[in-house]
């Protein structure tokens, strides 16, 4: 599931133990973020915006978490299907903006966190 149906990616994941640790950390962080108030979310956005490549990497993992929520296969994060779908749409938009434009990362991340 986490390899998104790509055999090459699965092989990389199997040989990369740090990926599994990172995945666990990102799942916990995502669960914590959606449970926080708006101020705490914005503090996270400020910190995450200081390292845009790492933020992009985390958002890619968020997409997988949200996809699991949408398909009811994620027991660690509790979101309605509607929230999960909206989260996927907004996360994709945010990723596209972060990758393709010179927008201020903090504002992009804050806008995304308003979705949850």
CA atoms within 13 A on the CB side of 25: 9
Residue 68: the pLDDT is 87
pTM: 0.82
- For residues 72 and 79, what is the distance between their CA atoms, to the nearest angstrom? 9
Residue 59: the pLDDT is 95
- pLDDT of 94 strictly over 70: yes
pLDDT in tens, 99-109: 999 999 999 99
Residue 103: the pLDDT is 93
pLDDT in tens, 35-60: 999 999 999 999 999 999 999 999 99
Sign of CA dihedral 65, 70, 74, 79: positive
Sign of CA dihedral 116, 3, 29, 50: negative
Residue 71: the pLDDT is 84
């Amino acid at each position: 599931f986490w390899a998104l149906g790509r055999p090459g990616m699965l092989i990389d994941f199997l040989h990369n133990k740090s990926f599994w640790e990172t995945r666990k950390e990102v799942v916990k962080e995502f669960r914590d973020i959606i449970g926080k108030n708006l101020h705490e979310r914005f503090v996270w956005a400020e910190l995450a915006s200081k390292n845009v490549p790492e933020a992009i990497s985390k958002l890619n993992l968020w997409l997988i978490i949200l996809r699991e929520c949408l398909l009811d296969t994620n027991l660690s994060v509790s979101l309605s299907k509607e929230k999960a779908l909206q989260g996927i749409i907004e996360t994709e938009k945010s990723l596209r903006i972060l990758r393709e434009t010179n927008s201020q990362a903090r504002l992009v991340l804050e806008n995304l966190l308003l979705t949850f």
